Amino acid sequence: MIDAVLKQIDANREASVAGLKELLKIPSVSTKPEHKDDLRRCAAWIADKLNAMGLKAQVKATGGHPAVVAKNEHKAGRPTILFYGHYDVQPPEPMDKWLTPPFEPTIRDGAIYARGAVDDKGQVWAHLQAIAAWQNNGGLPVNLTLLIEGEEEIGSDNLERFVRDNRDFLKADVALISDTNQYARGLPAITYGLRGLVYNEVFITGADHDTHSGLYGGAIPNPANILCTLLGSLHDADQKVTVPGFYDDVIPLSQAEREAWAKLPFDEAQFLHELKLGGPMGEKGYTAIERSWARPTCDINGLTSGYQGHGAKTIIPSTASAKVSMRLVPNQDPVKIVESFERMLRERCPKGVKIEFARHGLSAPVLVSREGKAMQLATEAVHDGFGKTPTLIRSGGSIPVVGLIKSTLGIDTLLVGFGLPDDRVHSPNEKFDLDALHAGTRTAAALYGKLLHMKS
Amino acid sequence: MIDAVLKQIDANREASVAGLKELLKIPSVSTKPEHKDDLRRCAAWIADKLNAMGLKAQVKATGGHPAVVAKNEHKAGRPTILFYGHYDVQPPEPMDKWLTPPFEPTIRDGAIYARGAVDDKGQVWAHLQAIAAWQNNGGLPVNLTLLIEGEEEIGSDNLERFVRDNRDFLKADVALISDTNQYARGLPAITYGLRGLVYNEVFITGADHDTHSGLYGGAIPNPANILCTLLGSLHDADQKVTVPGFYDDVIPLSQAEREAWAKLPFDEAQFLHELKLGGPMGEKGYTAIERSWARPTCDINGLTSGYQGHGAKTIIPSTASAKVSMRLVPNQDPVKIVESFERMLRERCPKGVKIEFARHGLSAPVLVSREGKAMQLATEAVHDGFGKTPTLIRSGGSIPVVGLIKSTLGIDTLLVGFGLPDDRVHSPNEKFDLDALHAGTRTAAALYGKLLHMKS
């Protein structure tokens, strides 16, 4: 049957791209309240597609943006797969950097350009197309449950409660996510490690209004000066993070992993050149791959204070704020880390000003087993889809739901992703290669076929 | 004759406020290119008023916004006074903090509220009303030249050339500026010291686009992290500025000044309370008055990087920038200081990113003599205007033209200002007390009468 399924996928290549375009046109930016209705519309669009394939799909309310859930007809004796994806996207800003508008998907040089092209709409779409092909050829051979949420890009704050409340509905033998990358063009991959995330916002408030920097400068505390002093002390000269206890629970990289990664094709000079960077920077004693896959970081994601217009304005700003996130590695505890971070800044903050925090999401780091039947079948499926055996890699990104699935449902997750490292995820001109979309759709179809045998 | 002049000013109190409202309605924000025509309109409005008083006024082009110049009929044997003021204003932002709109002047609790109310339109207006009263009563008793520019709030970049090019036209025996404050309500003052200013903008550029903080974090330099590290090192634990050579040329405060200032009424707890601050902060070893009047500072006026919207966006920003200004005291050299500042940051900046600077204005610190006939006459004039003998004070603000007048025309400047410390200069809800406007108009009229005798 898989041959017929793959044949249909090959025949449907162009129609598949047209469908993805429709999905990418919906500006489902979860962080912005003004897009609330677009999120709802996007969820309904996906549920309609799944219902049309003969699955039973619903848009379910959460504490925030809704989630789409769906099932095919579950039959006794077959393994159950939980597919997870997300339909929300990052904000498109800065708008002036897009060659074509972020919500007008455009084909260029064999790729589709749009916000969400690869993260994660395009990869979800590959699965929907694989499911459709199976449904047209006798039906999916496994029990499949889908959970496609709308808050991944804002920390999946309401997902934990949703998964707990729907534990029975979501019960499965293995979870499957396509929200990661191939290692490189022509080198498909399966990901076995993800970093966790703590996302914090720091607010410093001084005088209750902006004041004249001549008349007041020197006499009163300046929140922007204070913010820079606090944030400027988060790294030492070796680019180690200075948050107390930050490295206490970090599992050191194994020698085997370091050796395996050193053999991966990676040209750091070329990597930096493509980003127009003058040189590398990062934690001393580790390679770039090690630093981004398996070492924790602390990065400022945004800074705001005072006058940001053209030219000069001579003020002591009333407020200064920063968005600061930390990527965590096994076994760092997000709660312990965010508490230590806030305590450190609070203690160092001069008494003249007020310091406050907001937390925008916590997620645990993940390591999944590289052994076992499911991983073996996934490896074969990627080979069927891409024509090559995948490499096992880690990723520096975070997918909060993987830890949640483990802790709530007690199962591991297969991270079989189709993106490329140059897809500009979260950046202007995000893209998804059409070859990858096609090979990914084939891989997804093969996976659903193979996973039937995961218990044998 | 002065009695008739003052009598007319007293009688005209209400009409004067109506005229000032017209002037304050013009949004002459010099830093914003979109207000260019408003600047031109404001200059023409002032020139019209002066011509209507029988002076000969012109709007003169400069390299930037135009300047208004005017003269009465100069007669031999009379001293010549150069009055300087500015008609441009600071940007009104943040708009949501204004109780009434910044360019719809409103009377409340005995004060007029608008951007520019006291800085400097209201004070310029006091002089125009004083001139009008003299012109209606036999004419001004001195030779008067007026120079009212439109770029004071952006560093007076084109003024130096303008003053040099018009040196003969502007030649005078003494200069007069009303762009400073009384010490407090009921304590009028003459200012004999001003701080200088260096206003710099720092730009750090990393990768050529914002990148995903999971996939890239740790592997590449983060411009926002780097900016905070650089700016966070500008002060030591004693809040001394760490720019090399920063204090080398600073003239130490004299014991006499420290003692005199210690006797001025100043309740620091009340001062901090009014600003809603939890405590003081500033250079160790100096009082708040000393720090703001006579010690140099380094203050961040604005910070911009990455995502500034609602919630979370997980990016390594491509760029980060800051506006940083330093207030200087005698005898610091602005050029030497800005060069040392840029050199320090350039040397400390990691090689992976690009660092660039823009300069938005340099001005020298000022100390004028507290001795001499002109200062004595000004003291008498303030007494005639306010009914009290003024205190001699310094100010932490900068008026670039004072140094320029000294170096180009070779004369000192009398700084006789009418503002109050709580006028919220450069802040939302800027105001000018109507009593101060009136007493200031009387003072200006008395000054023009008294300065006739400055050479005798």
Other Cβ atoms within 10 Å of B20 Cβ, number: 25
| Residue numbers in A near B353 (CB within 8 A) | 277-278, 281
Residues found in chain B: 456
B154 → closest Cβ in A94, A312, A421 = A312
| Residue numbers in B near A271 (CB within 8 A) | 219
User: Are A438 and A13 a contacting pair, CB within 8 Å?
Assistant: yes
Between the CA atoms of B312, B315, B316 and B322, what dihedral angle is there, to the nearest 10 degrees? -50
Provide the β-strand partners of residue B68: B59, B148
- The answer, yes or no, to whether residue A372 has pLDDT greater than 90, is no
Q: Which residue of A has its CA nearest to B231?
A: A228
The reply to whether CATH 3.40.50.300 applies to domain A197-250+296-363 is: no
Look at residue B372 in the predicted model and tell me its pLDDT. Answer: 87
Burial of B287 (0-12, 13-18, 19+ CB in 10 A): middle
User: Are B306 and B317 a contacting pair, CB within 8 Å?
Assistant: yes
User: Are A66 and A72 a contacting pair, CB within 8 Å?
Assistant: no
Q: Is the peptide bond before A331 cis (omega within 30 degrees of 0)?
A: yes
Q: Which residue of B has its CA nearest to A195?
A: B214
Report the interhelical angle of B434-450 vs B2-11 (nearest 10°).
160
- The answer, yes or no, to whether residue A363 has pLDDT greater than 90, is no
| Residue numbers in B near A212 (CB within 8 A) | 397, 425-427
**Average pLDDT for chain A:** 96
A229 → closest Cβ in B31, B232, B325 = B232
Chain A contact for B263, CB < 8 A?
no
Domains of chain B by residue range = 2-194+365-453, 196-250+296-360
User: Are A297 and B217 a contacting pair, CB within 8 Å?
Assistant: yes
The reply to whether CATH 3.40.630.10 applies to domain A2-194+365-453 is: yes
| Residue numbers in A near B204 (CB within 8 A) | none
| Residue numbers in A near B90 (CB within 8 A) | 313-314
Q: Classify domain B196-250+296-360 at the CATH topology level.
A: Alpha-Beta Plaits (3.30.70)
Q: DSSP string of A149-164?
A: ES-GGGT-TTHHHHHH
State residue B442 phi and psi, 5-degree precision: -65, -40
Token couple for A351: 């008494």
C-alpha B84/C-alpha B413 separation (Å) is: 9
Q: Which helix (H) or strand (E) holds A344?
A: helix A334-348
Residues found in chain A: 456
Edge-to-edge, what's the strand order for the sheet holding A319-328? A354-363, A196-205, A319-328, A297-306, B297-306, B319-328, B196-205, B354-363
ipTM: 0.86
C-alpha B54/C-alpha A173 separation (Å) is: 94
pLDDT in tens, chain B (456 residues): 899 999 999 999 999 999 999 999 999 999 999 999 999 999 999 999 999 999 999 999 999 999 999 999 999 999 999 999 999 999 999 899 999 999 999 999 999 999 999 999 999 999 999 999 999 999 999 999 999 999 998 878 899 999 999 999 999 999 999 999 999 999 999 999 999 999 999 999 999 999 999 989 999 999 999 999 999 999 999 999 999 999 999 999 999 999 999 999 999 999 999 999 999 999 999 999 999 999 999 999 999 999 999 888 899 999 999 999 999 999 999 999 999 999 999 999 999 999 999 999 888 999 988 888 999 999 999 999 999 999 999 999 988 899 899 989 999 999 999 999 889 998 899 999 999 999 999 999 999 999 999 887
Between the CA atoms of B228, B234, B236 and B237, what dihedral angle is there, to the nearest 10 degrees? -50
CB contact under 8 A, A292 and B354: no
Look at residue A253 in the predicted model and tell me its pLDDT. Answer: 93
Q: Which residue of B has its CA nearest to A397?
A: B214
C-alpha A272/C-alpha B211 separation (Å) is: 12
User: Are B317 and A301 a contacting pair, CB within 8 Å?
Assistant: yes
CB contact under 8 A, B299 and A225: yes
Chain B contact for A166, CB < 8 A?
no
Greatest alpha-carbon pair distance for chain A in Å reads 80
Q: Which helix (H) or strand (E) holds A102?
A: none
From chain A residues 331-350, the ones with a CB under 8 A of any chain B CB are 350
Look at residue A403 in the predicted model and tell me its pLDDT. Answer: 87
User: Are B392 and B189 a contacting pair, CB within 8 Å?
Assistant: yes
Q: DSSP string of A398-454?
A: --HHHHHHHHHH---EEEEE-B-TTS-TTSTT-EEEHHHHHHHHHHHHHHHHHGGGT
Strands B189-194 and B391-394: parallel
Look at residue A400 in the predicted model and tell me its pLDDT. Answer: 83
CB contact under 8 A, A217 and B299: yes
A215 → closest Cβ in B282, B292, B352 = B292
Residue B112, classed as helix, strand or coil, is strand
C-alpha A29/C-alpha A103 separation (Å) is: 11
CB contact under 8 A, B277 and A219: no
Provide the β-strand partners of residue A298: A326
A208–chain B nearest CA distance, Å: 6
Q: Which residue of B has its CA nearest to A287?
A: B219
| Least-confidence region, from A254-258, A415-419, B131-135, B153-157 | B153-157
Residue A64, classed as helix, strand or coil, is coil
Q: Which residue of B has its CA nearest to A91?
A: B313
Q: By C-alpha distance, which of A7, A9, A6, A29 is closest to A19? A: A9
| Residue numbers in B near A195 (CB within 8 A) | 214
User: Are B312 and A325 a contacting pair, CB within 8 Å?
Assistant: yes
Kindly report, residue by residue over B58-86, the tens digit of the pLDDT.
999 999 999 999 999 999 999 999 999 99
C-alpha A429/C-alpha A436 separation (Å) is: 17
Look at residue A156 in the predicted model and tell me its pLDDT. Answer: 85
User: Are A43 and A67 a contacting pair, CB within 8 Å?
Assistant: yes
User: Are B374 and B414 a contacting pair, CB within 8 Å?
Assistant: yes
Torsion-angle region of A140 (φ positive above 0: left; ψ -120 to 50: alpha; else: beta):
beta
| Residue numbers in A near B320 (CB within 8 A) | 300, 303
DSSP label at residue B454 = T
Token couple for A239: 């680019």
C-alpha B252/C-alpha B330 separation (Å) is: 9
Chain B contact for A273, CB < 8 A?
no
Residue A258, classed as helix, strand or coil, is helix
Substitution target from B96, B157, B289, B314 for chain A, most A beta carbons within 10 A: B314
Chain A contact for B103, CB < 8 A?
no
User: Are B48 and B40 a contacting pair, CB within 8 Å?
Assistant: no
Other Cβ atoms within 10 Å of B152 Cβ, number: 26
Substitution target from B307, B363, B402 for chain A, most A beta carbons within 10 A: B307
